[in-house]
Chains A and B, each alone.
Chain A
Amino acid sequence: MPRRAGAPEVNAGSMADIAFLLLIFFLVTTTIETDAGLDRMLPPMEPPEDDVVIKQKNIFTVNINKNGQLLVEDELTNLKDLRAKAIAFLDNGGSPSGTAEFCNYCKGKRDVNSSDNPGKAIISLKNDRETKYATYITVQNELVAAYNELRNREAQRLYKRDFTELENEYRNPETSSSLKEELKEKVERIQGLFPQKLSEAETSSSN
């Protein structure tokens, strides 16, 4: 008489080993990558309807040639000095006090031949078609750094915190919405003090 004793029990002793094997496989193949980079907005295709006349002194021209050399305001400049020059230009505040365009938070030299106020100051970046991408990114980075440095200064003055820190918290999806509202106001105020006006002209062909 065959006895039915149910299915024999499967030995589960090796389960841990199998699981370990899989675990190690996934551990090795995992790359938890978050990309980071410089955010930029491209100008829209349609030209603005009214042509605004911009005074030459409010434009800070940066030219990169194909060898990676920099011409800043018609002066050959080392890349390392670019940030300081850009800050000096943005923070200049050349309008005389008392006028509507006076910049009361600027700490620059107030040179009448440089930018009137940060709201009017425009940085114009021009590159050659043969410029190396690495050089271009370095220049972009330095210009963004100039803005960030000035914004940090204002944020420290107004809110005792760095602007970059405020912005990161604002962009963090885990921040609660009430805090976000508050942060948004602060971020926008600082951005209003030093608006990022970076224009990129069509590239010149090499010559």
Chain B
Amino acid sequence: MSKFNNKKSGDMPPVSTASLPDIVFMLLFFFMTVTVMKSDDLRIENVLPNASEVKKLEKKDRIVYIHIGQPRKEYQEVFGTASRIQVNDKFIAVAEVGSYVLSAIGEKPEALQRLVTIALKVDKNANMGLIDDVKEELRKVNALKINYTTYEGDVFANLK
């Protein structure tokens, strides 16, 4: 008698967890595919300014990044405090920007080469002089489409 009672009073049947690994794997694969490991480690300060009228940089395959800013504290002994240009993992001089951009564009598939945008990720404390020099170099190699990469936000916060 008690046996029957036990079985009948048993609450809900246990939920089958057999498919749990499958679900977790699915999520896992999703995150594995969307993950981008940070490829270059920045040796410069790179706090971007805010802007409100921004446009999204859609496709990543047609963007060449150039970082500009003051070297980080731990590198300042070696590289000084003047703003530097960093691409991929190294500092380059202003005069090398043109050739770097050309070679970076050359590595892209041919169909995309005409659509390449140069994304300038510039620290907000950098001086315009260096950026003007970089722009001049870009004009020399005819890479005219540029994007001043910024955070989205209130512009007047820049001035503080």
Interface positions of A (Cβ within 8 A of B): 12, 15-16, 19-20, 22-23, 26-27, 29-45, 68, 79-80, 127-138, 140-142, 144-145, 148, 171, 173, 202-203
Contact across chains for B127 and A130 when beta carbons are under 8 A apart: yes
- B128 touches which one: A23, A33, A37, A127 (CB < 8 A)? A127
Bound complex: CA of A43 vs CA of B159, how far in Å? 28
Looking at the complex, which one of A20, A132, A144, A173 makes contact with B124 (CB distance below 8 Å)?
A132
Contact (Cβ within 8 A) B148 A140: yes
Interface of chain B residues 60 through 115 with chain A (CB within 8 A): 63
Closest to A27 in B: B31
Contacts beyond the supplied A129-B128, A135-B159: 4 A-B pairs with Cβ under 8 Å: A37-B54, A39-B145, A42-B145, A140-B148
26 contacts across the A-B interface (CB closer than 8 A): A15-B21, A22-B28, A23-B28, A29-B35, A30-B34, A30-B35, A32-B34, A34-B56, A35-B119, A35-B121, A36-B57, A36-B152, A38-B51, A38-B53, A38-B55, A44-B142, A44-B144, A45-B139, A130-B127, A132-B128, A133-B122, A137-B148, A138-B51, A140-B51, A141-B155, A173-B59
Residues of A within 8 A of B147 (CB): 35, 37-40
Chain B contacts to A: CB under 8 angstroms: 17, 20-21, 24-25, 27-28, 31-32, 34-38, 49-59, 63, 117, 119, 121-129, 131-132, 135, 138-140, 142-152, 155-156, 158-159
**Which of A36, A45, A173 is close to B150, meaning CB atoms less than 8 Å apart?**
A36
Residue contact B149 to A39, C-beta cutoff 8 Å: no
Interface of chain B, main secondary structure? mixed
Partner of A80, one of B34, B144, B156: B156
